[in-house]
């Protein structure tokens, strides 16, 4: 069943409720490289339940509906889906132990034709259920590589951030464990592209790739370490474009430009000298 503009715009993404537990938060932190230095106080504050804090990047997976594009009712060629861009806006500190509710809706389709696929824009609003107070907003651009020709000419929700033209002010390296995708998927994204070699090969990759939002989490980790003194509360927004897949086992170097309360960044897989994240922007409190 081929998708159409109307069928996608009318698709009801399931709402999700989640009570954020310390196990959820620790598991996410381990999935984006925290705990690699188990005695470092900047790591412990996110992986130890005594005084546990919630990473700001975890907003990306809170009350997350999972890989709903695999639902046959969408008609999407899910094996050819790639994450294009992500914007995370944090409205208040993420409350540990609160019941949160995530509501996701498709906000637009930009069809590039049968040969090029289509961009799908979606937004998830996460609120605290008891008060209705906004916690975070997630805006996602997904490339549907196998679904071009579906119709739609909706505009991109926000402009791409342009990096400064000068040399980066600093950089920070993180080694990604070979098991990273296996750990990260337990935070909600069970797309088999990241674990099943046969699915990865069918999608055109030599082996399973790292989740885009896991790579984004590693970049946020680097900015926290290099600029914020591991204080995740300083991060207000994070925006990134996924330019190429990263693989478990690689070293990710995040290069940063610091201009007041704005950190521009990009991330490179050192072993292949490949840019995996571009046009990154973090706004600090």
pLDDT digits (tens, 9 = 90+) for 207-228: 999 999 999 999 999 999 999 9
Q: How far is CA 178 from CA 23, 181, 183, 195, 251, in A?
A: 22, 8, 10, 11, 11
pLDDT attached to residue 150: 95
Report pLDDT digits (tens) over 166-189: 999 999 999 999 999 999 999 998
Q: Which of 21, 49, 46 is nearest to 36 (CA)?
A: 46
pLDDT for 29 beyond 90: yes
Residue 129 backbone dihedrals phi, psi, to 5 degrees: -60, -40
pLDDT for 205 beyond 90: yes
Q: What is the mean pLDDT of residues 93-111?
A: 96
pLDDT attached to residue 143: 95
pLDDT for 1 beyond 90: no
256: part of which helix (H) or strand (E)?
strand 251-259
Return d(Cα 31, Cα 172) in angstroms, integer: 18
Q: What percent of the chain has pLDDT over 90?
A: 95
Residue 73: Cβ within 10 Å count: 10
pLDDT attached to residue 269: 98
From the number of C-beta atoms within 10 Å of its C-beta (0-12, 13-18, 19+), residue 134 rates as: middle
Q: What is the mean pLDDT of residues 46-66?
A: 96
Report pLDDT digits (tens) over 233-274: 999 999 999 999 999 999 999 999 999 999 999 999 999 999
pLDDT band of residue 101 (cuts 50, 70, 90) is: very high
Question: Collapsing DSSP states into helix, strand and coil, what is residue 136?
Answer: strand
Are 120 and 112 contacting, i.e. CB atoms less than 8 angstroms apart? no
| CATH numbers and ranges of domains, the chain | 1-20+62-158 (3.10.129.10), 159-285 (3.10.129.10)
Q: What is the mean pLDDT of residues 117-136?
A: 97
pLDDT band of residue 92 (cuts 50, 70, 90) is: very high
Q: What is the mean pLDDT of residues 9-15?
A: 95
pLDDT for 165 beyond 90: yes
pLDDT for 80 beyond 70: yes
pLDDT band of residue 71 (cuts 50, 70, 90) is: very high
pLDDT for 2 beyond 90: no
Pairing of strands 118-128, 99-111: antiparallel
pLDDT for 78 beyond 70: yes
pLDDT attached to residue 6: 95
């Amino acid at each position: 069943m081929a998708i159409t503009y109307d069928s996608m715009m009318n698709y009801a993404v399931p709402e999700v409720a989640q009570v954020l537990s310390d196990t959820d938060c620790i598991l996410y932190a381990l999935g984006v490289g925290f705990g690699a230095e188990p005695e470092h106080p900047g790591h412990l504050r996110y992986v130890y339940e005594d005084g546990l804090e919630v990473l700001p990047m975890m907003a990306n997976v809170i009350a997350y509906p999972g890989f709903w594009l695999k639902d046959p009712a969408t008609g999407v060629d899910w094996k050819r889906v790639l994450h294009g861009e992500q914007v995370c806006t944090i409205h208040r500190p993420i409350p540990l132990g609160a019941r949160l509710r995530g509501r996701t809706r498709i906000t637009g389709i930009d069809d590039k034709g049968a040969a090029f696929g289509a961009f799908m824009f979606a937004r998830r609003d996460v609120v605290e259920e008891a008060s209705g107070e906004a916690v975070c907003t997630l805006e996602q651009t997904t490339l549907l590589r196998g679904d071009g020709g579906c119709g739609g000419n909706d505009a991109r929700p926000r402009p791409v951030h342009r990096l400064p033209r000068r040399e980066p002010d600093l950089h920070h390296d993180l080694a990604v464990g070979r098991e990273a995708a296996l750990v990260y998927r337990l935070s909600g994204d069970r797309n088999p592209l990241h674990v099943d070699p046969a699915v990865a090969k069918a999608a055109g990759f030599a082996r399973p790739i790292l989740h885009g939002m896991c790579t984004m989490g590693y970049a946020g980790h680097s900015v926290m370490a290099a600029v914020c003194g591991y204080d995740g509360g300083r991060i207000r927004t994070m925006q990134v474009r996924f330019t190429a897949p990263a693989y478990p086992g690689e070293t990710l170097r995040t290069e940063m430009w610091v201009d007041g309360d704005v950190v521009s960044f990009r991330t490179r897989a050192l072993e292949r000298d490949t840019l995996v994240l571009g046009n990154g922007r973090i706004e600090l409190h």
